[in-house]
Amino acid sequence: MAEYVASFDSATGMLRALSRYLRGRDVPMLGQLPAAVEPTVCGALAAANRLPRRVAERAYALTGWSEASAPAKLAALRSDRLAEWIVGHYPRRRYPVVFVGSASGALVHLAAALGAPWLPQTLLVPVRQRGGHPDAPRDSLRLSRPAGEAMLAANPGLILHHMHDANQDRLMIAGMSYFRIKWRRLPPAYQRFLRECLAPGGTLVVADCTLRWPTTRIADRYVFQHGAIGGLTPDEYRQGTPEIARYLAAHGSPYRHWDAPEPDGDSPEAEWGFEPELMDDLRQAAPRVARLRFADPEALSPAVADLYKSWYGRRGIPGDRLLVESFVLLEPWWTMRTGSVPFWMVFNAEQSRRALLAYLDQVDPYDEIRLTLFSHGVESPGSAPISAWQEALERARKIGVFAGVDPRAYPRDFAVFARAHRELSRVRTTYPMPLAMPLSEAEAALTARDDLAWTVD
């Protein structure tokens, strides 16, 4: 079943990063290739950075297209087997805490500190698409709807969010549709994992991102979402702006605004939002169930950064290094090994940059700030230029540097996927890996905050 799932997606990348951490391993090449080949791959990707723009964009798109499934295969997908593939990533042992639900890089760092696995509710299934145009979301829906209906007919435990974002995902969706599937019922593999691996008296934590987005209802378990968090508002996606018109013209598009179905309601956001229908099963899955609610995937980042800083202080570690991560560029093992405080950003957009600066405004200055940026291949509306990111680095008292980012190539810096790990692993001062943080410490800190909610059912 792994062949259906995108390796470049948030949930998959976070699953790899956390499961490797729990096995005592870091994440070279986003956990997809052995560390031994990293220098070779890094060199090849750096060479790709120097290709002409159109050629580089085409190569980037092809890497994603190669992972997409033919529409006819979707009827053979089985959600139960996907769940078995997910739990197979983790060591089979007893855990005092298990997370289930929404994705967030900050949540990955919280789970790593607690020594806990996380089982995602949402996965991305990319589907090959012939015809259509990336700036005509209606085309994507029309062409891919039969495959979506066939998949849902075979999987009554799933909800399908067909997401189309020609802003951030422009290069990828030229030849594919993004099917984001959410479990509405707890799959048998998750149930078995909780029975066998959640320690007696342990806590099941539901990661509940409450973010919603305008959608068009296609069927009972099928919605279409135009746009996504990370640069533009829902109204800007729907109505267009002069900046969007210029962006489309620069890409040779015949459109000057996106042609999408009109929304008729809203739903949990396709990539990040928690589908509450799953909650009934989760309440029955463990004796103690806690719920961690947050407004958007990035909203956890200040709380987790503060938690790490206080944790380091109790362990005698300075806590004066900040590691700013972006999307799937996550390194929980090296974060702890270098005594870095993690601050995760959902994307490379201006709103993420503002969230980072707001956090830096509220804390004592860091001696060192390292910043890595996900490259998605285009200068999309709402993204922050490389020069704007310098402001955050200038907040450091001693060292403020990009980690693995080539400012000249960004946002077509494809070598960042190898280089970020290599540069972080070269940070000089390192510390022993800690024992897992007791849940009581994290629970006390999270309960005290007013920017999120921790409750016990």
pLDDT tens, per residue, the chain with 457 residues: 578 999 889 999 999 999 999 999 999 866 565 555 555 545 555 555 565 666 566 666 666 667 899 999 999 999 999 999 999 999 999 999 999 999 999 999 999 999 999 999 999 999 999 888 999 999 999 999 999 999 999 999 999 999 999 999 988 888 899 999 999 999 999 999 999 999 999 999 999 999 999 999 999 999 999 999 988 999 999 999 999 999 999 999 999 999 999 999 999 999 999 999 999 999 999 999 999 999 999 999 999 999 999 999 999 999 999 999 999 999 999 999 999 999 999 999 999 999 999 999 999 999 999 999 998 888 899 999 999 999 999 999 999 999 999 999 898 888 888 888 889 999 988 899 999 999 999 999 999 999 999 999 8
In a domain, 75, yes or no: yes
The pTM of this model reads 0.95
In a domain, 376, yes or no: yes
Quick one: 94 and 213 in the same domain? yes
Quick one: 331 and 255 in the same domain? no
Domain that holds residue 315: 301-437
In a domain, 452, yes or no: no
Q: Is the separation of the CB atoms in 328 and 372 below 8 Å?
A: no
Quick one: 318 and 415 in the same domain? yes
Q: Tell the residue number behind the tokens 């509450």, with chain if given.
A: 276
| 403: three-class secondary structure by DSSP | coil
In a domain, 454, yes or no: no
In a domain, 442, yes or no: no
User: What whole-number distance in Å separates Cα of residue 213 and Cα of residue 247?
Assistant: 23
Cβ neighbour number for residue 314 with a 10 Å cutoff: 10
Domain termination site, one of 294, 323, 347: 294
Cβ neighbour number for residue 29 with a 10 Å cutoff: 17
Quick one: 211 and 313 in the same domain? no
Quick one: 165 and 305 in the same domain? no
Q: Tell the residue number behind the tokens 């070279």, with chain if given.
A: 28
Quick one: 196 and 237 in the same domain? yes
Quick one: 124 and 232 in the same domain? yes
What does the block give as tokens for 126?
């990319």
Quick one: 393 and 290 in the same domain? no
Among candidates 75, 21, 13, 74, which has minimal Cα distance to 325? 13
Quick one: 93 and 227 in the same domain? yes
Domain termination site, one of 259, 276, 294: 294
Domain count across the chain: 2
| 62: three-class secondary structure by DSSP | helix
Distance spanning both ends of the chain, measured CA to CA: 34
Quick one: 160 and 25 in the same domain? yes
CA atoms within 13 A on the CB side of 318: 12
Domain termination site, one of 294, 321, 354: 294
In a domain, 447, yes or no: no
Helices (H), 155-216: 188-197
In a domain, 252, yes or no: yes
In a domain, 280, yes or no: yes
Quick one: 173 and 250 in the same domain? yes
Quick one: 8 and 33 in the same domain? yes
